[in-house]
Amino acid sequence: MEIFQTLYTLRPRTRGFHLITDEITAALPEIRDLKTGICQVFIQHTSASLSINENADPTVRMDFEMFFSKIVPENDPAYVHDYEGADDMPAHLKASLLGCSVSIPIHNGKFALGTWQGIYFCEHRNDGGARKLVITAWGAG
């Protein structure tokens, strides 16, 4: 079994859902050395998340942002945690709903994602800044 790991920093992005599949692949090129395996991508933040979904039509990512903004609105007077602004607590809730990691099977040195699947970086803050990822792949070469 081989294990590869890298720490990778995403550049700051606007609030929304962003495809990062190609960045992940480029950040850990050793994936191509694995015949079979798993890649886990973990985000080290509590106000951003990761997901796997539609990679072709950008309107899907727009609809994701619209939906999550509707179900977890800003400026809810019931929020107690608002030290960092109106988007702070909603960002934590959205991150908990979506999760902090994704796992992708590796087959013949490539991600075994479906035809229309990609890895989303979900930025829930208006100004989240650079975000840190831990990318770990393991398997047989």
Which candidate, 131, 109, 118, 101, places its Cα nearest to that of 28?
Answer: 109
Q: Quote the tokens at residue 121.
A: 């970086």
Global pTM value: 0.96
The structure tokens 């090129």 sit at: 29
Name all domains of the chain by residue range, CATH numbers in brackets.
Answer: 2-140 (2.60.120.460)
Mean pLDDT by 10 residues, the chain (141 residues): 98 98 98 98 98 97 98 95 93 98 98 98 97 98 93
Question: What is d(CA 23, CA 20) in angstroms, rounded to the nearest whole number?
Answer: 5
Identify the pLDDT of residue 82: 85
Identify the pLDDT of residue 83: 87
- For helices 88-98 and 58-71, the axis angle rounded to 10 degrees is 120
Q: Quote the tokens at residue 133.
A: 């990822």
Alpha carbon 24 to chain centroid distance?
10
Question: What is d(CA 50, CA 70) in angstroms, rounded to the nearest whole number?
Answer: 19
